[in-house]
Amino acid sequence: MSIRTERVARLIQREVADLLNTEFAGQLQLMMTVTGARVTKDLSIAYVYVSILGETEAQRQAAFRHLQELTPQIRAALATRIRHQVRQIPELRFFLDDTLEKARRIEDLFERIRAERERRSPESEEG
């Protein structure tokens, strides 16, 4: 990745994150965090990765679909913010980053294993 594409990716990540937490916060029911952004070499497409905090997978998926429906409005709002810094406003493509959710599930599994070991521990000492 070139310095220019990295700089544009960081700019897009920062500005889209701010837009989601300010201008679009009322339309997006769940809290969203922009975890990363990549742009193509020609700066025509920006891949934006978001993490969505929600109680259930269905809630997160619904919020993500709603985010995708808002993509044209988000891109227009982004354009007003960065039009003086880039020649062409890239097409936005959102991806769901479920890394945090996977980490939480793994932690839950470890906690269940610890609890099971503690439950079994006194039994083995008696025998």
Residue 91 sits in a domain whose CATH number is: 3.30.300.20
22 and 61 co-located in one domain? yes
65 and 120 co-located in one domain? no
Q: Which domain holds residue 78?
A: 3-96
Number of domains, the chain: 2
48 and 92 co-located in one domain? yes
pLDDT in tens, 80-125: 999 999 989 999 999 998 887 788 889 989 999 999 998 887 665 5
For residue 55, the 8-state DSSP code is: S
State the alpha helices, DSSP H only, in 1-127. 3-21, 57-69, 71-82, 99-126
Spatial separation of the C-alpha atoms in residues 110 and 116, rounded to whole Å: 10
Model pLDDT, residue 123: 61
Q: How confident is the model at residue 36 (pLDDT cuts 50, 70, 90)?
A: very high
